[in-house]
Chains A and B, each alone.
Chain A
Amino acid sequence: MGKERLRSLKISISGIRGIVGEALTPELLANFAMAFGTYMNGGSIVVGSDTRVSGEMVRYAVLSGLIATGCEVIDIGICPVPTIQIMVEELQADGGVAITASHNPKEWNALKFIGNEGTFLNACQGEELLNIYHQGGFIKAPYTEYKGVIAHPSAAEIHINKILALDYIRPEIIKGRKFTVALDTCNGAGATITPQLLERLGCEVVSIHDQPNGLFPHDPEPIPENLGDLCELVRSSGADAGFAQDADADRLAVVSERGEAIGEDYTLALAAKFILEKKGRGPVVANLSTSRVVEDVARSLGEKIVYAKIGEINVVEAMKRTEATIGGEGNGGVILPDVHYGRDSLVGIALILQLLAESQKSISQIAASLPRYHIVKRKVDCPSSKIFPILKEIREKYAKERLNLIDGVRIDREDSWIHIRPSNTEPVMRIVAEAKTEEEASRLCDNITEDMNEILSPQ
């Protein structure tokens, strides 16, 4: 029990995450919200949540904590994480709190913290927040400094309008194609806003798992093995495209008109292809575990790829630094600075539909025109004490190869690569390998796993 209980809570620079009914208690959440209110010195804070059943409890704890530190709270209710980020920027708020455990199973919940630019706190800011939390000297506002909670009901509309205002998104062209779009929002935060966007784009929407009730019908991670229902729906409805979102609607996966999940890595590749053809004027940024297809797309259109550490904020900061055109992650996260510096599945949908409308090709045709890679992802249990010895051994073993060491070890080869890094959220090593065939990618993973095991249990 002790060990289980320990693992049901993670307090880190990325926020607080845990299992409801175990370690993630309302008092802990209220204290963390007070730490954030103290960090923000009682400013205005936008609060929103995904559809999880525990969202209401978590939200009340957060509101109580924020009010007690003298914050003014703008409550936008159930909405995608990117909507919260956009509203922080739009309302010129001092910060935001997103109540979501994104792709984690339904018994989990979490708080993620957003700064005044509408982007997640970076590592230094997260560290400062943690220090306040651990120190515990929170602001306790006197009654004269109490401010109210304001409900803001039109956040979704503001978000959609911002996407439709992009000069390269042409609703009349998309409308002309009369697309049928199949949608699986996993009963998550995209359930309400996504059909609204699609209707504004003149699409006929057929949907599955479209109730914002947090009862996830499948694992909310938008990877092919979880998209069986959507693939079936595309085939039965004859849809032109299928889209799947995770529970907080920051990540997007695409299903072709043939009912095949093209792989979440191809979401960013398609979005990048569209935008670079339109207006290439800055590199593409991706995290180190992103498929090389994104790099290939960037190069073929005359742009560089810049790799960043895992974590949305790390990609965002690299994008700002390099004035990137687009960025994101291989897990289906698309970041378009013209809308906002944050992963946004709705942006991904709009870009891909515009690509489809203008290219007069089907998704499977466009996907087939891109290099085909196979990616294999694994996680291997690893005691914390062994993380650094393992990384050191691997670094030394492969010292003669092309290495990137900004986040674990990534080894790049002619047409394959392998990335090993410690997880930020679990006591595991994450291993991702990509190659031209699945067998080759698996073999690469096996090799690194063997390297690891040799260090973990030397003969």
Chain B
Amino acid sequence: MKPFKISASGVRGVIGGALTPDLLIRFAQSFGTYLESGRVVVGRDTRPTGPMLHYAVLAGLISTGCEIIDLGICPTPSIQLMVEHLGADGGISITAGHNDASWNALELIREDGIHLNPFQGQEVLDIYHQGEFIRAPWNRLGKVREESGAVDLHIHKILEGIGGEAIRERRFKVAIDPCNGTGGLVDRSLLEALGCEVVAINDEPRGFPPHDPELIPRNLLQLSSLVRASGADVGFAQDLDADRLAIVDETGRPAGEENTLALLCEYTLRKHPGANIVTNLSTTRAIEDIAGRYGGSALRTKVGKEYIAEYTKNFGAALGGEGSGGIVVPQVHYAEDSFAAIPLMLQFMAETGAKVSELVSSLPKYTMIKEKVPCPPERIYRILSEIREMYSEENVDMTDGVKVDFGDSWLHVRASNTEPIIRVIVESKDEGRAETLCRRTLKQIHFLLTE
């Protein structure tokens, strides 16, 4: 059985396994039925398996009588923006984000452009399981209209929300690596509108990703070389649907994926002292430290992008985001959006006049280690409860898996929303302490798995 997951966050799997046209069509029909045959915006990322899912989604939505606006290959945040802009009832983004090319998925978006929350996702899932979909007769089938204006609208919205005068004056040289993903459709126009000189690699928005799209340092080697060779002021990397952003400093050194949010948090709080920042339980504690410096506070949600945008909106936060590099910039819209994050970072650079390496070194120093352990789904909850028992004397938060706060360091063990794995994240000011804590936890999990 190939990895596959159908849940309140959508449907996701490895191609060649359970992610069949039949299943995708029924899932799209569930969503079309949930929306009572409303207006739906559809787009996909660049992975070569996209057309199979795209056609299945169109067939399913047409058969439930939905009016479809087809954006073709399009970043997820642009799809989210278009849902709101067009007054649509919902949207479907066909993307497995940062997962490698063997994966694909459907993400469901509601009328305000935010991903469905778990309660809404569960309602769609109930319709899916019940299997009774709206079946439009031949003369009430949905129609498909192609729409190509999403990217222009998105760039316009960003420039309107952020301005960018300070950036234009600096004439930055910016290196980009959109990983042959949808970022390639937007980056150059956006950066040139901000007066930047662009040097790019992997910016053809098609074909197989040239490297693993997850924004961890080992996948940023090409961008690092490009920054050094071109003498760029900064490098930006994105995943395939361009919701996540990683930053490389002017020396070619990755800032670290946690630090995209930390940097923008620092900038935002300098501008808006006392503001709220929304992030998830697995993100660096540097966010609390930074918020503390400026009299603000960090609100922690469960892990999953469906929570970040909704909490940012509901709490009127000045910024939201995840350690994985997804950033919500409320001036633009409530969606994790690498394009909205880029000008924010450039503005930080422009207004301070500092180099990226200097801005990074001013952040609180933590060592974070992220590990994952493959785990059969039926064992996950038993392992989580064993871990909880083990630390019953400590300060334990059970909002999402088990998060143990040791004061100087923390440990978070949780089930992935998207894959049959257990994630282990530890963070400490002390590198040795982080390593020990991580090693010890992994050993415990392996022991429980072989029991």
Write the residues of chain A forming the contact surface with B, with a CB cutoff of 8 angstroms.
19-22, 25-27, 29-31, 33-34, 52-54, 56-58, 60-61, 63-65, 67-68, 106-107, 109, 138, 140-143, 146, 148-149
Chain B residues with CB under 8 Å of A146's CB are 15, 48-49, 52
Does B377 have its Cβ within 8 Å of any Cβ on chain A? no
In the bound complex, CA of A175 to CA of B22 (Å):
52
B442 within 8 A of A: no
Given contacts A143-B102, A148-B51, contact A54 B25 (CB under 8 A): no
Q: Does B210 contact A (CB under 8 A)?
A: no
Chain A proximity mask over B100-111: 1 for CB below 8 Å, otherwise 0? 011010000000
User: CA of A20 to CA of B59 in the docked complex: distance in angstroms?
Assistant: 12
> How far, in angstroms, from A21 to B139 measured CA to CA in the complex?
9
State the Cβ distance, B266 to closest chain A Cβ, in Å. Answer: 40
Interface stretch (choices B130-138, B230-238, B398-406, B430-438): B130-138
A107 touches B138 (CB 8 A): yes
For B136, the chain A residues whose CB sits under 8 A away are 21
Contact partners of A29 in chain B: CB under 8 A: 59
Minimum C-beta distance from B369 to chain A (A): 30
Q: Quick one: which of A20, A64, A106 contacts B55, CB cutoff 8 A? A: A64
* Interchain CB contact under 8 A, B21 and A142: no
Q: Are A64's CB and B21's CB within 8 A? A: yes
Closest A-B pairs by Cβ, 7 of them: A21-B137, A30-B21, A26-B59, A64-B55, A61-B59, A60-B59, A64-B56
Given the known inter-chain contacts A26-B63, A140-B20, A143-B16, please indicate yes or no for A56 contacting B25, CB distance below 8 A.
no
Q: List residues of chain B with CB within 8 A of the CB of A65.
A: 21
Closest B residue to A30 by beta carbon equals B21
Q: Which residues of B contact A149 (CB under 8 A)?
A: 51
Q: Within the complex, what minimum Cβ distance (angstroms) separates B13 from chain A?
A: 11
| A142-B16 contact, Cβ under 8 Å, with A20-B137, A25-B63 | yes
Q: Give the A-binding residues of B (Cβ under 8 A).
A: 14-17, 20-22, 24-26, 29, 47-49, 51-53, 55-56, 58-60, 62-63, 101-102, 104, 135-144
B25 contact set on A, CB distance < 8 A = 26-27, 30, 61, 64
The answer to whether B56 and A54 have CB atoms under 8 Å apart is no
* Contact of A53 (CB < 8 Å), options: B17, B22, B47, B139: B139
Residues of B within 8 A of A142 (CB): 15-16, 102
Q: Which residue of A lies closest to B60 (CB)?
A: A26
Note all chain B residues with C-beta closer than 8 A to A107. Answer: 137-139
Question: In the complex the two chains form, what is the Cα distance from A63 to B58 in whole Å?
Answer: 11
Task: State how many angstroms separate the Cβ of B15 from the closest Cβ of chain A.
Answer: 4
* A57 adjacent to B59 (CB under 8 Å): yes
Tell me, in angstroms, the Cα distance from A143 to B19 when the chains sit together: 11
Q: Which residue of A lies closest to B65 (CB)?
A: A21
Interfacial chain A residues near B47, Cβ < 8 Å: 143
Are B16 and A21 interface neighbours, CB within 8 A?
no
Q: Tell me if B16 and A57 are in contact (CB < 8 A).
A: no
**CA of A57 to CA of B59 in the docked complex: distance in angstroms?**
5
**Cβ contact within 8 Å between A64 and B52:** yes
Chain A nearest CB from B99 CB (Å) reads 11
Partner pick for A106 among B15, B138, B144, CB 8 A cutoff: B138
A54 to B142, CA, bound (A): 9
Q: Of the candidates B16, B26, B51, B137, which one forms a contact with A67 in the assembled complex, judged by CB atoms under 8 Å apart?
A: B51
CB distance from B26 to the nearest CB of A (A): 6
CA distance A109 to B20 in the complex (A): 23
Given A26-B25, A54-B141, A64-B52, check contact A140 B17 (CB 8 Å): yes
CB distance from B44 to the nearest CB of A (A): 13
Q: Which of B21, B104, B137 meets A61, CB within 8 Å? A: B21
CB contacts (< 8 Å) of B22 on chain A: these are: 27, 30-31, 34
Chain A CB within 10 A, most for which of B16, B53, B59, B62: B59
A148 contacts across to B, CB distance below 8 A: 48, 51
Give which listed residue, A19, A25, A68, contacts B52 with CB less than 8 A. Answer: A68
Contact A68 B138 (CB under 8 A): no
Q: Are B63 and A57 in contact (CB under 8 A)?
A: yes
| A21 contacts across to B, CB distance below 8 A | 63, 135-138, 140-141
Say yes or no: A34 contacts B21, CB within 8 Å. Answer: yes
How distant is the Cα of A61 from the Cα of B53 in the complex, in angstroms?
A: 10
Report yes or no: A25 in contact with B51, Cβ–Cβ below 8 A.
no
The one of B24, B63, B104 in contact with A64, judged by C-beta atoms closer than 8 angstroms, is B24
CB of A60 within 8 A of CB of B15, answer no
Across the two chains, which residue of chain A brings its CB closest to B102? A143
**Which A residues touch B62, using CB under 8 A?**
26, 56-57, 60
5 A-B residue pairings within 8 Å (CB atoms) = A20-B63, A25-B135, A34-B21, A67-B52, A143-B102
Once A61-B21, A146-B15 are accepted as A-B contacts, the answer to whether A67 and B55 lie under 8 Å apart by CB is yes
Give 12 A-B pairs besides A57-B62, A67-B51, A141-B16 with Cβ atoms closer than 8 angstroms: A21-B135, A26-B25, A26-B29, A26-B62, A56-B144, A57-B63, A57-B142, A60-B56, A61-B21, A64-B56, A140-B15, A143-B14
> Are the C-beta atoms of A20 and B141 separated by less than 8 Å?
yes
Q: Give every chain A residue within 8 A of B56 (Cβ-Cβ).
A: 26, 30, 60-61, 64
Closest to B18 in A: A140
A53 to B141, CA, bound (A): 8
Contacts of A34 in B (CB 8 A): 20-22
Q: Give min CB distance, A231 to chain B, whole Å.
A: 28
Contacts of B15 in A (CB 8 A): 140-143, 146
Which residues does chain A contribute within 8 Å of B26, judged by CB atoms? Answer: 27
Q: Is the CB of B20 within 8 A of A143?
A: no
Known A-B contacts A27-B26, A56-B62; the reply to A20 vs B51 at CB < 8 A is no
B105 to chain A, nearest CB (A): 13
Complex: A68 Cα to B143 Cα, angstroms = 24
Q: Name the residue in B49, B62, B138 with the highest tally of chain A Cβ atoms < 10 Å from its Cβ.
A: B138
Evaluate contact between B21 and A68: CB separation under 8 angstroms: yes
- In the complex, what distance in Å separates the CA atom of A20 from the CA atom of B141? 9
CA distance A143 to B49 in the complex (A): 6
Q: What separation, in Å, do the CA atoms of A56 and B138 have in the docked complex?
A: 11
Shortest CB–CB separation between residue B133 and chain A, in angstroms? 8
Q: How far is the CA of A410 from the CA of B53 in the complex (A)?
A: 50
Q: How far is the CB of B343 from chain A (nearest CB, A)?
A: 34
Q: Please give, as numbers and ranges, the residues of chain B lying within 8 Å of A56 by CB-CB distance.
A: 58, 62, 141, 143-144
- Pick from A26, A33, A53: contact of B138, CB under 8 Å: A53
CB of A30 within 8 A of CB of B59, answer yes
Give A272 to B52 CA distance when docked, in angstroms.
Answer: 45
Q: Kindly list chain B residues whose C-beta atoms are within 8 Å of the C-beta of A141.
A: 15-16
B55 & A61 in contact (Cβ 8 Å cutoff)? yes
The smallest C-beta distance from B411 to any residue of chain A, in angstroms, reads 35
Bound-state CA distance A22–B63 (Å) is 10
Most buried by B among A19, A30, A53, A56: A30
Bound-state Cα–Cα, A430 to B86, Å: 53
B47 (CB) vs chain A CBs: closest residue: A143
Return chain A residues, CB-CB under 8 Å to B48: 143, 146, 148
Considering only CB atoms, which chain A residue lies closest to B135 in the complex?
A: A21
Q: How far is the CA of A26 from the CA of B51 in the complex (A)?
A: 16
| CA distance in complex: A56, B60 (Å) | 11
Q: Chain A residues with Cβ under 8 A from B63's Cβ?
A: 20-21, 25-26, 57
User: CB-nearest residue of chain B relative to A105?
Assistant: B138
**Assembled-state Cα–Cα distance A140/B62 (Å):** 24
A158 to chain B, nearest CB (A): 25
Query: What residues of B have a CB within 8 angstroms of the CB of A58 in the complex?
Result: 59
Whether A63 contacts B55 by the Cβ 8 Å rule is yes
Docked Cα-Cα span, A32 to B112, in Å, equals 37
Q: List residues of chain A with CB within 8 A of the CB of B17.
A: 140
Which of B101, B139, B141 is close to A143, meaning CB atoms less than 8 Å apart? B101
